[in-house]
A and B are shown apart, each in its own frame.
Chain A
Amino acid sequence: MRDRWEWVLIKHSGRNGFRGMVVAALLLVFCSTGIAADTLELSNHRGKVVVLDFWASWCVPCRRSFPWMNTMQEKYGDDGLVIIAVNVDNATADAAAFLQEYPAKFEIFYDSDHQLVRDYAIEAMPSSFLIGRDGNVIDNHLGFKFAKTDEYEAAIVAALGK
C-alpha cells in the first residue's frame, strides 16, 4: 500500500527557498486573500495518530463536531493524537468567524485552493480520515453523527494503542 502521507507531501512540495523572515510579511497576504500555506506537513506527525478532518464554515454538522474534537484532543493529545482540521472555505474570513464561535484547540489548515480535498477525494462534508502512527489511512467517516461518537472514539483509541 502506498504511503499516503508521503504521496501527499510529494504532491504538495511547492516553491523552494522561502526563508522564515519572509514568512511574517507574507502571513498577512496568505490570511487575508485566502491563499493557504501550500504544504500540509503530515510527515511532522509521523509516530502520532492523526485525525484529518475536513470542515467548512457553512457546514452545520461541523459546529457539532468541533466541541467533540476539542475533547478528543485534550483527552488523547498526550497519548499521541493530533487533530488537524482542514478548512475548505473560499474565503478564510468565513472560517475565522466560525472559529470565533467554535474555538478550536487543535491545528487548522487552510485548503482554499481545494487541492487537499481533491487528493483525498472527499465525498461528503464533513469528512474525517484516521491516519495511524505509520502514516497509513486506517479509516474514514463521512459526516458527523453524535450517535456515532463512541465508535469514532473507539477507532482513535485502537489506533493509539497499536
Chain B
Amino acid sequence: MKKLIAVGLLALCAGCSSMGVEPWDRDVLAKAEMQLTTDALEAATDDHIYFSKEASSGGRGFGGGGCGCN
C-alpha cells in the first residue's frame, strides 16, 4: 500500500514538469486568499475540534503555490 502511494506521488511529480505558469503570471496565486492555508489560526482551531470529536486527524498542510518569489 505504501509503495503504491510512493509510486503514485512520484508519477504525479513526473507528470508535473509540463504543468504550471510562467513566473510572471503568478499574480493571482500570490494573493493571500489563494494560499493553501489562508488562515492558520482557523485551521488549527478546526483541527483541534475535529481531533477531539472524531477518530481522524490532520492530513493537511504544506507549502507551495503562492507567488513563487525568490
For A118, list chain B residues within 8 Å (CB): 22
A123 CA / B30 CA spacing, docked (Å): 16
By a CB distance below 8 angstroms, the chain B residues around A124 are 23, 68-70
Is A23 interfacial (CB 8 A cutoff)? no
- B56: shortest Cβ distance to chain A, in Å? 35
Q: How many residues of A contact B (CB 8 A)?
A: 25
B24 contacts A143, CB within 8 Å?
Answer: no
Assess whether B48 is interfacial by the CB under 8 Å rule.
no
If over half of A's interface residues share one DSSP class (helix, strand or loop), that class is named, otherwise mixed; here it is: loop
In the bound complex, do residue A58 and residue B24 qualify as a contact, i.e. CB atoms below 8 Å apart?
no
Digitize B12-36: 1 where CB-to-A-CB distance is under 8 Å, 0 elsewhere. 0000000000111111001100000
Q: Which of B22, B30, B70 contacts A58 (CB 8 A)?
A: B30
- B67→A58 contact, CB < 8 A: yes
Highest count of chain B CB atoms <10 Å: which of A56, A60, A122 = A56
> B24 to chain A: which residues have CB within 8 Å?
54, 56, 88, 114, 117, 122, 125
Q: Can you show 13 pairs from A to B with CB atoms below 8 A apart?
A: A56-B24, A58-B30, A60-B30, A60-B67, A60-B69, A89-B27, A90-B27, A118-B22, A124-B69, A124-B70, A125-B68, A142-B70, A145-B70
Residues of A in contact with B (beta carbons under 8 Å apart): 54, 56-62, 88-90, 94, 114, 117-118, 122-127, 142-145
